[in-house]
Amino acid sequence: MADEHLRSDHYVEIDGLSTAATVARCIHSHLIATCPECEEAWHKLGALLKEAVLSSFDTFTPPPAPSEPTDDDLLVDADALAAEDARVEQLRHLRRRAHEQLWILRRLPAVRRAGKIRGAHRQFRGRALAELLIEECRATVRNAPLEAVAWVDLVPLVLHWTRGDGAPPWAPGLLARAAAHRANALRIAGDFLTAERTFIEVRRSLAAHPVDDPAIVAEVASLEASLRIDQHHEEQAEELLERAALAYRYAGDPLGLARTRIKHAGLMWNKDRPSEVLRLLDEAADGLSASPGPPDLYLALCTVTWRVLALCELERFSEARRLLNRHIDDYEASEDPHSAAVFRGLQGRISLGLGDHAAAEISYRSCLDAYLALGRYHDAAVVCLDLADTLLAGGKMADLHQLAADLVPLFRNRELPAETLKALRHLAQAVLSERLSSTLLIEIRRAVAGPALAPGLPPL
């Protein structure tokens, strides 16, 4: 049997096969005989460890088969079932009421919401509403971070009654989540200093009032990692992301794990490690497929975007094009207003890699117009570099000079960082003085692009 795997029908052919130990010894012998790596590992164990392994087979017994339930096991406690049904119905009622209260708050101007909550006696209180406000923050933070801050600022007002003695055990964790999401929204809005101070307060709060929910620990760590990425603190970011991934696994939250792995892929992209990006995206895809409920289209598109970019970096352009074409419908179906621009940018990157400069120019110009219309001026600046690279490679010097002449007027009053404007001026001067090269473009790109959690897509 050394030339084939053991099968169940082999067992009956072995004389004296009557115990699990005999089966284990047969499997062990088969592995040693057929697998060189197993044979090498076996010999490295040494005489004492070999004897210990073989002895362990003799003491091995299979787990007992499950027994049939007895009549006592089948008895149902009617009072316990009634109590459980009542508890579930109460939770449903609280959830419905929280959705109604959130609907009322949505109809109010933002400046009146806090007053509405303070002025209510019993309304706008409770855990369910606080959780919905955090989800509202998460839903709006990608495209309206300051609006997201306003939503999550309502959480302490909704939970103000939990601040005194006898507060419920879940209150500190929920308040920590709200503060972490507030810090994340401030980060996306560009206020890194206040975001960092908020995360410091969150850590102090969790140290004073530890929580036993690993999902909260994971969420806070993952959000803080985004700030560390933006601050170029890559080692801290990687440590936080690994901590978040471990906690999400322990909590059994595949969606949270997928979100964290996508962020980690972005970090690996910044460190020029495209193969590691692909590995992390495989893990993220597994988490998305294992997550209950409807698929998260935004996260799925993030995995596609990163995967296409990593494949392009590895010069696997044909594979990248096939992947992107398979997901055309997903980009079109996305409710995110930036998805179409992202798709056109990816098309441009692939066309440039394949040497189709005309198609790349069309895609990049369309992408640039879309970002300018959406007010995504930083992304538009990055696309200008891609367009300059395309025009340079295609030898269209007249168009390149026109692009250079338009750069500074186009971005002068767009609230871009000073270093980005300086880099764009450097690009314009290099073009006008006939000094632009691919090497210089790479240096300018590093100054303009900086770290990004998902090129062109709003942050996670």
Convert 322-374 into a string of H (helix), E (strand) and C (coil).
HHHHHCHHHHHHCCCCCHHHHHHHHHHHHHHHCCCHHHHHHHHHHHHHHHHHH
Residue 452: its pLDDT value, please?
45
Polymer length in residues for the chain: 460
DSSP state of 162: G
Give 40-78 pLDDT, tens digit per residue: 777 766 665 666 667 666 665 555 655 665 555 555 566
Reported confidence tier of residue 378, pLDDT bands at 50, 70, 90: confident
CB contact set of 349 (below 8 Å; sequence gap of 6+): 308, 309, 312, 320, 360, 386
Reported confidence tier of residue 17, pLDDT bands at 50, 70, 90: very low
More confident residue, 421 or 248: 248
Residue 90: its pLDDT value, please?
64
Residue 441: its pLDDT value, please?
83
CB atoms within 10 A of CB 256: 22
Say yes or no to pLDDT of 325 above 70. Answer: yes
Q: Specify whether the CB–CB gap between 439 and 430 falls below 8 A.
A: no
Distance CA 29, CA 25 (A): 6
Residue 217: its pLDDT value, please?
92
Phi, psi angle pair for 125, to nearest 5°: -130, 155
* Most distant CA pair in the chain, distance: 91
Residues 439-458 have a mean pLDDT of 63
DSSP one-letter string for 255-286? HHHHHHHHHHHHHHHHTT-HHHHHHHHHHHHH
Task: State percent of the chain over pLDDT 70.
Answer: 80
What type of residue sits at position 321? R
More confident residue, 148 or 126: 148
- Measuring CA to CA, which residue among 173, 199, 143 is closest to residue 251? 173
Q: How many CA atoms lie within 13 A of 26 on its CB side?
A: 20
Give 169-204 pLDDT, tens digit per residue: 888 899 999 999 999 999 988 889 999 999 999 999
Mean pLDDT in the chain? 82
Residue 402: its pLDDT value, please?
92
CB contact set of 312 (below 8 Å; sequence gap of 6+): 320, 349, 350, 353
Say yes or no to pLDDT of 316 above 70. Answer: yes
CB atoms within 10 A of CB 186: 24
- Look up tokens 């990049």; give the residue: 364
